[in-house]
Structure formats: C-alpha cells, structure tokens
Amino acid sequence: MNISVEKFLIVCGFLLILFAIQFFLKFRSAAGASTKKEAAKIKLVSRLNLSSKDRVELLEIGDKSLLIVFSKNAQPNVFDLTSTLSLAEESSSL
C-alpha cells in the first residue's frame, strides 16, 4: 500500500475544513435561536374547510389575530381581525 505524505495531508486538511464548517453552522444556529422564539409566537387557532378547494384559517401572531382565506388557483386573502375585535368591544361598551 502506497500512502504518501501529500495524500495524508490532503485528507487531514479536508477533514479540518469539514469540522470548521460544522462548528460555524452550530455557532450560527445558536445565534439564530432568537428567531425561533419569534416563530413560536405563531399559533393556528382554527381551520375550517369551506369546500374541497377552499378553507379558512384563524392565526394568532403575537397579539394580532389574522383570518386567512385560501382558494385554489388564487392568492390567499388576509384580514386583520385585531382592529375589528377592538372596534366591536368599544361599540359594545357604549
């Protein structure tokens, strides 16, 4: 078996590069943990299938409530219910 010093150094250098990339990715994912906490504030409250092609979803993102209407072959429609709910509460207290 003929293993030269050059081949050994190439393999060791390649392994060192792989370990450096792994360390960098671990460090980067630890720094990005705060973005995962932000994403955890998104909560699916309810989903209602209107037909086989249409559905409505109610989401809570932080302190906002969003109603999203999905239709096949169309863009989703997004409605902010937070302002609507606060207006309804103000009118009922009058």
Split at pLDDT 50, 70, 90, the class of 85 is low
Whether residue 77 sits in one domain with residue 52: yes
Higher local confidence (pLDDT), 87 or 5 = 5
Q: How far is 80 from 71, CA to CA, in rounded Å? A: 18
Split at pLDDT 50, 70, 90, the class of 3 is confident
Q: How many domains does the chain have?
A: 2
List the domain range (segments joined by +) for residue 3. Answer: 1-40
Q: How far is 78 from 57, CA to CA, in rounded Å? A: 10
Looking at the whole model, is its pTM more than 0.85?
no
C-beta neighbour count of 68 within 10 angstroms: 14
Whether residue 85 sits in one domain with residue 55: yes
For residue 64, the cross-strand partners are 61
Whether residue 59 sits in one domain with residue 88: yes
Q: How far is 81 from 74, CA to CA, in rounded Å? A: 21
pLDDT tens-digit map of 11-43: 999 999 999 999 999 888 776 665 556 556 889
Cβ atoms of 61 and 78 within 8 Å: the answer is no
